Structure 1
Amino acid sequence: MREVFQQELREVQDRLVQIAELVEGAIQGATRAFGTSDVALAEQVIDGADEVDQLASELDELTIDILARQQPVASDLRLMVGALRMSASLERMADLAQHIAQLARYRYPESAIPQGLRKTFVKMGDIDIAMSAKLVELLRAQEPRIIDEIRDLDDALDELHAKVFEKVLSDKISADATGVVDATLASRYHERFGDHAVNITKQMNFFLSGAME
């Protein structure tokens, strides 16, 4: 029975990694579509969110079933509870990538990025992509050092988010109401993407150390 339980725990971990890899692909596609007004790519990202939702739902069902049958304790219980919370965060990250892609689709053939903010959004996209790649690594390897790396990236993302708000309040951009809305929404989506990545690091830290930070 213990061997079966360990196999089930590995399956939970493998499924988390699988979902995280899909999220990584989604944010890569979304940021590229947003930056280049690639409507076809935006549609791919939007359509792909359903797969993440389905996999997250299946993972939740599996985890709840294991909890009911095995009644785990200590670190195994922390993994089960953390898996439910990490699954929810990953699902939300996929939704945020979808929202970014939707902005690109709504403004096609025009760009959703106001003049003067293109470099900032490129940087924000690059950070989100780096964070998603590190999440895959964290979920696979469970290395504590990766937690700090993700949190450092989130700090940089928060700084860029603040800069976007400073920029949209300038006279040049504030005169463009559509640009202000697009920039504000896109920046918020990127920033929230990072927040959910940090939430996952908290759950992983709880699993590894028993402390919630």
Structure 2
Amino acid sequence: MRTAYHEQLDALTNQLADMCRLAGLAMERATQSLLQADLVLAEQVITDHDQISTASARAEEAAFVLLALQAPVAGDLRAIVSSIQIVADVERMGALALHVAKISRRRHPQHALPEEVNGYFAEMGRVAVELGNSAREVLLSRDPEKARRIREEDDAMDDLHRHLFTVLMDREWKHGVAAAVDVTLLGRFYERFADHAVEISRRVIFQVTGRLPEEEEIPTC
């Protein structure tokens, strides 16, 4: 019976890892849509979001079934409770990619981004996809050291986000309020995507060690 339980737990972990893959792919496509004003890619991200929502519901249900029927204790209980929290983190990552795609679609056929910030968002997109992939690898490997290194990758995103604001605050900004609002929102979406990847890594560390690393508050959006 315990063998079946651990097989179910492994299956849940694989579901979460696949959700990370889907979220990273969504952000990759959303970024391409944003940079290229590609309506087809934007629509694909919006349509494919249902896959993440469906996977999220299935993973959450699987976790609650394990919690209700197996009466886990200690490490197993940590694993299941953390998995439920990770479901929410990955689902939010997918939703943030969706927000990026929706802005791209709303501004089509124009580009949502002024040309001078394209480089920032190309790099933020690259870092976001790497963080999604790293979160997936950490879920599968359960390696606390790899999980801790995700924080360093997140620092790169934070630096890009800060530098983006120097462009927005420059007196030479000539693209108006609407573009400034879009850039501000988009920058926030990428930053939060990265933050949720960091939270996944923290939860994996908690699963393995029983201790939650001291960091910022768990994101709520």
Shared fold, TM over 0.5: yes
Say which is worse superposed, 165-174 or 128-137, in terms of deviation: 165-174
Residue 139 of structure 2 is aligned to residue 139 of structure 1:
yes
Q: Deviations over 1:126-169 (max 9, x none)?
A: 10011011111111111222212211111111111111122111
Alpha-carbon contact 2:114-2:175 (below 8 Å) kept: no
TM-score, structure 1 length as denominator? 0.96
1:25 counterpart residue number? 25
Instruction: Give the number of equivalent residue pairs.
Output: 213
1:37 counterpart residue number? 37
Task: Give the Å deviation of 1:174.
Answer: 5.7
1:101 counterpart residue number? 101
Unaligned 5+ runs, structure 2: 214-221
Question: SS at the partner of 1:171?
Answer: coil
Question: SS at the partner of 1:113?
Answer: coil
TM-score, structure 2 length as denominator? 0.93
Question: SS at the partner of 1:172?
Answer: coil
Q: In structure 2, what residue type is equivalent to 1:82?
A: S
1:141-180 to structure 2, matched below 5 A, reads: 141-173=141-173, 175-180=175-180
1:211 counterpart residue number? 211
1:192 counterpart residue number? 192
Q: In structure 2, what residue type is equivalent to 1:57?
A: A
Alpha-carbon contact 1:173-1:179 (below 8 Å) kept: no
Q: In structure 2, what residue type is equivalent to 1:163?
A: H
Say which is worse superposed, 88-97 or 1-10, in terms of deviation: 1-10
2:114 counterpart residue number? 114
1:74-89 to structure 2, matched below 5 A, reads: 74-89=74-89
Task: Give the Å deviation of 1:48.
Answer: 1.1
Matched-pair identity in %? 33
Q: Deviations over 1:39-73 (max 9, x none)?
A: 10010001111111111111111111111110111
Q: In structure 2, what residue type is equivalent to 1:5?
A: Y
Alpha-carbon contact 1:96-1:189 (below 8 Å) kept: yes
Question: SS at the partner of 2:150?
Answer: helix
Question: 1:175 and 1:18 mapped to 2: Cα distance?
Answer: 39
RMSD between aligned residues: 1.1
Q: In structure 2, what residue type is equivalent to 1:76?
A: D
Task: Give the Å deviation of 1:171.
Answer: 2.1
1:58-77 to structure 2, matched below 5 A, reads: 58-77=58-77
Question: SS at the partner of 2:211?
Answer: coil
Q: Deviations over 1:156-202 (max 9, x none)?
A: 11111111122111123265112101110110000000111111111
Say which is worse superposed, 173-182 or 40-49, in terms of deviation: 173-182
2:219 counterpart residue number? none
Question: SS at the partner of 1:178?
Answer: helix
2:128 counterpart residue number? 128
Question: 1:132 and 1:175 mapped to 2: Cα distance?
Answer: 32
